[in-house]
Amino acid sequence: MTATAVGIIGLVVLIALMLLRIPVSISLMTVGFVGTAVLNSVPAALAGLSSQTWNTATFFELTVIPLFVLMGNVAGLCGLSRDLYAATNALVGHLRGGLAYATVLGCTGFAALSGSSVASALTMGKVALPEMERYRYDKKLAAGAVAAGGTLGILIPPSTGFVIYAILTEDSIGRLFLAGVLPGILLTALFMVAIFIQTQLRPGIGPAAEPKPLPEKARVVARSGPVMAVVAITIGGIYTGFFTPFEAAAVGAVLTVVVALHRRSMNPSNGYRAARDTIQTTVSVFLIIVGAEIFSPFLALTHIPGDLAQVLSGLELSPVMLLFVIVAVFMLLGMFLDGFAIMVLVLPIVLPIVRSSGVPDMLGVSPESSDLTVWFGVIMVIILEMALISPPVGLNVFIVKSVARDISMGEIYIGILPFWAAMIVCIVLLVAFPDIALLLPRTMIQ
């Protein structure tokens, strides 16, 4: 049996295991270990299993994950996220569709604290959905705003998705964080445009809330000031070069805890829950990275990435058409697989294809340029956001359903469609104007 045939069998088994709800990390480790043993030797597979586990556990750059996750958990459990929503609600809630705008803006702010789409959707859903229900918002619009707004958690830095992508591609976490800032703002704006269009066409789906007096607006916005200051210090510190991403994560986590203690919103109970949830999330992400590091050598032994690159090169597709094919494949996988699973599974295959195609020429960079890797990383993360709200597996959909049990799955999926279209528009703009993603990484202070 050829190495390619073994690789195809391995990929089929891997997808089958994940569809059977075997954890992504265990599926990757199992297929990677057995495949390496078959194509190389059992001692080589055992050596890879032990060395990759140790290397991941001792990889200093991965310290950003528990620190940023702790930052988000403290903000969510201690009520700091409610301050963000209250501030945005005070500013735009009086507009038609204003509570939906406030939800998206609140998710944007919380994304800059948590780096997690699930945490953003869950936290903002608990705050925003009851408020929109009180003002009789259309269920589809309310659910769509929460589910789609939550996806911003893996695009706006700090982003767990960018950290995993950086580890897999051996690129700079700081450059990827900066690359996500402008696309994150752009996607937020496109989500708000989607809300605006819906509420203009059907005014009754998003009635305006009661306007708040100016003194109350000032008070509510001022209360969110310390939280936004934490975001500004961490992200601003990375951009100016004052902090490395790892130092920024530590500073952000400490400042968030300080703000929670100052407000007396942290107690032993929610402090314990924040620590427990941080440990659980960190272990889960670390295991996925270990699995990816064990699976990647097996995939290299199969020669599948090189073979696919040759096939696609022979088709002589234009760069835009090639990207369209890749995006279509990712969207299809997103209907069945978890976003991180897609990244770990497909990235080692598609990145060499992108490098050997005309895409680098389209961007005006070399095939091995970090700019190419960073730009494609932003594209991939947006596609993973789409996977988070794609039927039938979209994780954020189930998060919204768990918060609002009276909203049907069908209503949630219908509500998501305008935001899904906004994501497609964002990808098109990033292909047409790659500097949206590359401007900050190119101008950052090294």
For residue 373, give the 3-state DSSP assignment. Answer: helix
Q: Note the pLDDT of residue 375.
A: 92
For residue 76, give the 3-state DSSP assignment. Answer: helix
Confidence check: pLDDT of 345 > 90: no
Give the long-range contacts of residues 430-433, CB within 8 A, separation 24 or more.
Answer: 430/183, 430/375, 430/378, 430/379, 430/382, 431/320, 431/323, 431/379
Q: Structure tokens of 158?
A: 């700090």
Q: Is 159 left (phi over 0), alpha (psi -120 to 50) or beta?
A: beta
Q: How confident is the model at residue 206 (pLDDT cuts 50, 70, 90)?
A: confident
115-117-120-123 Cα dihedral, nearest 10 degrees:
-120
For residue 84, give the 3-state DSSP assignment. Answer: helix
When pLDDT is averaged across residues 212-220 and rounded to a whole number, the result is 81
Confidence check: pLDDT of 4 > 60: yes
Q: Which residue has the higher pLDDT, 347 or 425?
A: 425
Confidence check: pLDDT of 5 > 60: yes
User: Across the chain, what does the average pLDDT equal?
Assistant: 82
d(CA 86, CA 147): 19
Confidence check: pLDDT of 336 > 70: no
Cβ atoms 76, 114 nearer than 8 A: yes
- 158 preceded by a cis bond (ω within 30 of 0): yes
Q: Which residue has the higher pLDDT, 251 or 445?
A: 251
Q: How confident is the model at residue 194 (pLDDT cuts 50, 70, 90)?
A: very high
Out of 61-75, 261-275, 283-297, 372-386, give the one with best mean pLDDT: 372-386
How confident is the model over 261-299, as pLDDT tens digits?
888 878 888 888 888 888 887 888 788 788 878 887 887
Which candidate, 408, 370, 380, 398, places its Cα nearest to that of 183? 380
Residue 273 amino acid letter:
R
When pLDDT is averaged across residues 90-102 and rounded to a whole number, the result is 85
How confident is the model over 112-142, as pLDDT tens digits?
777 677 777 777 777 788 888 888 888 889 8
Percent of the chain with pLDDT over 70: 95
Q: Note the pLDDT of residue 338.
A: 66
Q: How confident is the model at residue 429 (pLDDT cuts 50, 70, 90)?
A: very high
When pLDDT is averaged across residues 239-265 and rounded to a whole number, the result is 82
Confidence check: pLDDT of 425 > 90: yes
**How would you write 184-220 as a 3-class SS string?**
HHHHHHHHHHHHHHHHHHCHHHCCCCCCCCHHHHHHH
Question: Which range is least confidently modeled, 60-64, 91-95, 327-331, 442-446?
Answer: 442-446
d(CA 366, CA 371): 9
Q: Note the pLDDT of residue 309.
A: 67
